[in-house]
Amino acid sequence: MLKVFLVEDESIVREGLRDNIPWQQWGYRFVGEASDGEMALPLIQETQPDVLLTDIKMPFMDGLSLSRIVHQEFPDTKIIIISGHDDFEYAQQAIAVGVEQYLLKPITRGVLQKVLSELKIKIETEREQKNYQEKYQNEAREYEQFSRTNFFVKVLEGRMPVQDIYKEAAELSIKINAPCYNLFMFSLQEKKTVENAGQESEAFARKREELLRYFVRYPEHVVFRWNINTYGVLLKGSGEQIGELTSRCLENVERICSPVQNEFDWYAAAGEPVERLSMLSDCYGRVNHLFAYRFLMPSVHIFTKEVTDNYIPLKAGVGIEDIDSDKVAPELIRDFLQRGTHDEIGEFVDSWLHSLQEALGSKLFQNYLIYHVYFVALAYIESIGCGKAQLLDLMGKDRVREMDPGAEELSPYIQGILEKAMELRDQVSDHQSRKVLRHALDYIEENYMQETLSLNTVASEVNVSASYFSAIFSQAMEVTFIEYVTGKRMEKAKKLLRQTEKPSGDIALEVGYKDPHYFSFVFKKTQGCTPREYRARISN
């Protein structure tokens, strides 16, 4: 039931309206009254009525002043001016402050009933549309995340001119303008192997949500997903603020993640501030370099330039017997092959070799590193179901037989081994993803007309986490899950509108919408016209 508040300085008129109108019968609840605008304002702020009836001429604060304040503070409240003055200027001012109706005294019961009935329909329609809009926006949030990731990939890889950055940021409602920027990246992953990719515990999901809630809380942070387990945060602020913002991010990630570091792998890296959007790709290059150290220093969780500068290379004159065994442990290479990306190979290898640089003068040690990386890579790809022959074929058997590069060729040679091993890893992952995707698409095809179909239900059906499924679905299909399902429903709806005489309400149910009004809302949003207009257009 809608709430109505009355402001009228003439007590006889006020009491007459209050006591003689069947408010409940007309769909309203009378929630308060006042004799002038000044007395009314605090009561209106307390009751927040849907409709305000107010006289225009009153002492202390007139109806126009009251209407102006109420319209600014409660824009959804509908205002009806009651006036004994048939004056065009008053009416014009009333329209300017957002008044719905301007009624002249004396007001007949019939006129008031008509106006209130029309307002009731208007309010309920607006609320329905607002609810539909919010529901549609919630469903479309997945698309916004997908678009945001694509946007930042292009920005950070330096593939977008500055003018296009501003334009696309505006289209995505990203407030990107600031005097200074920095880039912060963090990853959170359960301690699982690649064979169990896609599985996710409730504790992990809660911890990830806690992290993301911290970052989205502040307007100085623009959060985006980089890949399945890694997120980026663009920090914005003045030159004086940016250092504090960066430190605060590092402190809070450590606060949130440290208590669970035995259950999850977590890492964070912060870049160095830049003053131009065009310099963000340089900032990303530095962050990516720092982030690669998580494979070289797995016991460290936060990486800054100061931290990695302390990763001291071997000193001149050391022998092989002086090398820290952790720096050549098989786990270091295997962990990188399991969790690293192609973009990180160069940074990882160069940083690793830099830490061993003085020992690289030994030809024997160079050859050891080559064979060490090769056999670790071989063991890894065999563990995920690939054969030795597949790695040999990718590398070239002759090249394997002649594994004896010079010192200058050592880094690209090792990068080549890791690149080929990752290709095989990705083939296995792609095969598993395609298998999951085929199952998901078959399930969607059979169930898209069910209102209960959702990202979570499909992810549960194919036995992977919703986060993982969302990522592989968007990447493979180049549309988000909700876009894909909505597209199928709309195509089916258009077919039924063309080929049958079924009412749109029945069609809505048939394609997965329990609420026919929401179906019409989505149809118009996606197709540019209502179902009725579409059918009429086809008929003509």
- Residues 401-430: tens digit of each pLDDT: 556 666 678 888 899 899 999 999 888 888
Both 71 and 21 in one domain: the answer is yes
Same domain for 299 and 375? no
Residue 121 lies in a domain: no
152 within 8 A of 229, measured Cβ to Cβ? no
Whether 322 is covered by a domain: the verdict is: yes
Same structural domain, 352 and 469 = no
pLDDT tens per residue across span 30-74: 999 998 888 888 999 999 999 998 888 888 888 788 888 888 888
- In angstroms, the CA 513 to CA 504 distance is 11
SS3 content of the chain, % helix, strand, coil (to 5): 65, 10, 25
- Average pLDDT, integer, range 136-149: 62
Residues 6-33: what's their mean pLDDT?
89
Residue pair 39/27 in contact (Cβ under 8 Å)? The answer is no
Q: Of 267, 318, 321, 341, which Cα lies nearest the Cα of 297?
A: 267
Are residues 338 and 426 located together in one domain of the fold? yes
Residues 208 and 295 in one domain: yes
Q: Does a structural domain hold residue 153?
A: no
Reduce the DSSP state of residue 481 to 3 states and report it.
helix
326 and 392 belong to one structural domain:
yes
The answer as to whether 114 is a domain residue is: no
Question: What CATH number did the domain enclosing 45 receive?
Answer: 3.40.50.2300
Same domain? For 426 and 460 the reply is no
Rounded to whole angstroms, how far apart are CA atoms 109 and 33? 19
E strands present in 315-466: none
For the domain that residue 538 is a member of, what is the CATH number? 1.10.10.60
pLDDT per position as a tens digit, 302-316:
999 888 877 655 444
Q: How far apart are CA 473 and CA 460, in angstroms?
A: 14
Rounded-to-integer distance, Cα 445 and Cα 438, Å: 11
Domain with 366, as residue range(s), is: 312-440
As a residue count, the chain comes to: 540
Segment among 32-41, 89-98, 284-293, 481-490 with least mean pLDDT: 89-98
User: 398 in a domain, yes or no?
Assistant: yes
Domain presence at residue 126: no
Residue 275 sits in a domain whose CATH number is 3.30.70.270
Instruction: Say whether both 495 and 533 belong to one domain.
Output: yes
Does the global pTM surpass 0.75?
no
Task: Decide which of 417, 440, 463 is a domain's last residue.
Answer: 440
* Confidence tier at 280 by pLDDT (50, 70, 90): very high
Q: Is residue 155 part of a domain?
A: no
In this structure, the answer to whether residues 318 and 392 fall within a common structural domain is yes
pLDDT at 480: 83
Cα angle value 463/337/379 (rounded, 5°): 95
Residue 32, in any domain of the structure: yes
Going by pLDDT thresholds of 50, 70 and 90, the confidence category of residue 85 is low
Report whether pLDDT(349) > 50. yes
- Using the Cα atoms of residue 255, residue 259, residue 336 and residue 424 in order, give the sign of their dihedral: negative
Same domain, yes or no: 298 and 258: yes
Same domain assignment for residues 296 and 185: yes
| Residues 328 and 296 occupy one common structural domain | no
Picking from 303, 337, 366, the residue at the C-terminal end of a domain is 303
DSSP 415: H
HSE toward the beta carbon, residue 47, CA cutoff 13 A: 20
Structure confidence at residue 314 (pLDDT): 43
Q: What is the mean pLDDT of the chain?
A: 84
Q: Which residue has the tokens 């690669």?
A: 292
What distance lies between CA 92 and its chain's CA centroid?
Answer: 44
Alpha-helix residue ranges (DSSP H) falling in 188-277: 202-216, 239-257
Closest CA to 304 of 340, 273, 265: 273
Task: Using the 3D structure, point to which of 239, 268, 303 is the last residue of a domain.
Answer: 303
Give the residue with greater pLDDT, 362 vs 240. Answer: 240
Q: Give pLDDT tens digits for 384-404.
A: 888 778 887 777 655 555 566
Output Rg (C-alpha) for the chain, integer angstroms.
Answer: 33
Backbone angles phi, psi at 10, to 5 degrees: -85, 110
Q: Is the peptide bond before 106 cis (omega within 30 degrees of 0)?
A: yes
Domain total in the chain: 4
Instruction: Tell me which amino acid residue 507 is.
Output: I
